Amino acid sequence: MKLYKLFNKKVFHIKPELERVEKALEELGNPHKNFPSILISGTNGKGSTAAFLESILRHHGLKTGFFTSPHIVEENERWQINRKSISDKKLEQYIKLIEPLIKKYSLTYFEASAVVAFRYFSDEKVDVAVLEVGLGGRWDATNVVYPEVSIITNVSLDHTHILGDTTYKIAGEKVGIARKDRPLVIGEEQIELISQAVMKGVREIYHYPIGFTYHVEKESMRYTFRDLKIYDLKPSLLGNRQFSNAAAALTGFLLYAERKGVKVDTAKIKKAVSSTFLPARMQVVSEDPLIVLDGAHNEDAVIKTLKEIETLYPDRNVISVYGGMKDKDWKRIFSIINYRSRKTIASGIPVSRALDRSDFPEEIPFFENVKDAVEYAKRLSSDKDLILIIGSLYLAGEFLKTFCYTS
């Protein structure tokens, strides 16, 4: 059994509150209070930052819980311990355990997922849990914890119908994960986030370039935090934006280590950062033909991905396979992708919110599934081209399920 099956064709009225989750957790003995946690939010990069952080903690000998969303291929990916997904058998046990609470408190799918995570991590006695916020921050189900450290990667326009129509408003929602008496790491120098944190009364704020710095030199970076300097850090995930994500994660780890008495080992940090893996983040899934898979799904992320592609593969033309969701600013996103591509191909996604044939101009080739779209892209491509799969993590998941690439 999978948790999402309980929510098929069910619609819950989502209220901006934490009371439902808190009541459900109380009936389970408040498992979220049984382990320390680090909470990560941000418009883009929070998944990569969470993955870097988990890897650094694990390489220091800590048993880690890792809660992330959405899943890419299998739902089990959402709940991991030491980066191993929960087994089908255990997941089914937790689903049966919380099913009455889902009905009693009308929990949403994400709220139920968080409840499973908290109970699972508590039962398995993790040393620390890395929790990725699902949406926003202030009213997100993960925000019931009292994190040792909070991290916000950045802020840009996304989910504006829920979080607000300006970056300042969205920043206010994301800063909701910060605690006045606990450190807050902000990955980029964004005044919206910094000012909101100051207004909230957060006493410890660490943001680039105040609090920590890094300098990029080709494929590596030099990182500085207080008296600590680490040279030749090489993030395993492709793209310059991963330097920022790795730096934010490392700062979060150092603050956590300081609070918990963890002995910092720079060799372990280097190994952790260089071996982190997360699918669909500038993932090269094929060399011949060259195919890059990326889950960018808002304007800021898409622009960054296209710039990264231009930098890494300056001699390649881009053939884009795009699929997205109707509730995004998809026309703007699509126009940016289409402008930067030699050819753009549209793909359907088996999700109710996904774009379909009627949404695209007639001249844009549309295929009902990513398999047919990619096969068409392959037929059009030459050794001077790069096929880019972009627009949604759901599209990325369908690609990986269909083609079973593991690179």
Report pLDDT for 16. Answer: 72
Percent of the chain with pLDDT strictly greater than 70:
95
pLDDT digits (tens, 9 = 90+) for 364-394: 999 999 999 999 999 999 999 999 999 999 9
10: pLDDT strictly greater than 60? no
- What is the pTM assigned to this prediction? 0.93
Residue 28 CB neighbours (<10 A): 15
Residue 36: CB partners within 8 Å, gap ≥ 6?
127, 128, 129, 148, 256, 260
Average pLDDT, the chain: 92
- Please state the rounded mean pLDDT for residues 163-185: 86
Report pLDDT for 80. Answer: 98
Is residue 306 a contact partner of residue 403, using CB atoms and an 8 Å limit?
no
358: pLDDT strictly greater than 70? yes
What are residue 230's DSSP bridge partners? 223
Closest CA to 61 of 271, 236, 221: 271
How many angstroms from the chain centroid is the CA of residue 329? 19
> What whole-number distance in Å separates Cα of residue 157 and Cα of residue 190?
13
Q: Cα–Cα–Cα angle for 300, 306, 312, nearest 5°?
A: 130
Distances (CA, A) of 390 to 118, 291, 395, 397, 403: 32, 11, 7, 11, 16
Distances (CA, A) of 263 to 62, 257, 269: 11, 7, 11
pLDDT digits (tens, 9 = 90+) for 200-243: 999 999 999 989 999 998 889 999 999 999 999 999 998 888 99
Report pLDDT for 351. Answer: 87
Q: Which domains does the chain have, with CATH numbers?
A: 3-275 (3.40.1190.10), 283-403 (3.90.190.20)
Report pLDDT for 119. Answer: 98
Given CA atoms 381, 383, 388, 394 in this order, what sign does their dihedral have?
Answer: positive
15: pLDDT strictly greater than 70? no
**DSSP E strand boundaries for 147-266:** 149-152, 184-186, 205-207, 213-217, 220-225, 228-233
Confidence of residue 124 (pLDDT cuts 50, 70, 90): very high
Task: Give 36: exposed, middle or buried? Use CB within 10 Å, 0-12, 13-18, 19+.
Answer: middle
163: pLDDT strictly greater than 80? no
Report pLDDT for 9. Answer: 42
- Please state the rounded mean pLDDT for residues 313-338: 94
Report pLDDT for 12. Answer: 47
pLDDT digits (tens, 9 = 90+) for 26-84: 999 999 999 999 999 998 899 999 999 999 999 999 999 999 998 999 999 999 999 99
Confidence of residue 253 (pLDDT cuts 50, 70, 90): very high
158: pLDDT strictly greater than 70? no
Report pLDDT for 8. Answer: 63
- Please state the rounded mean pLDDT for residues 20-26: 97
406: pLDDT strictly greater than 50? no
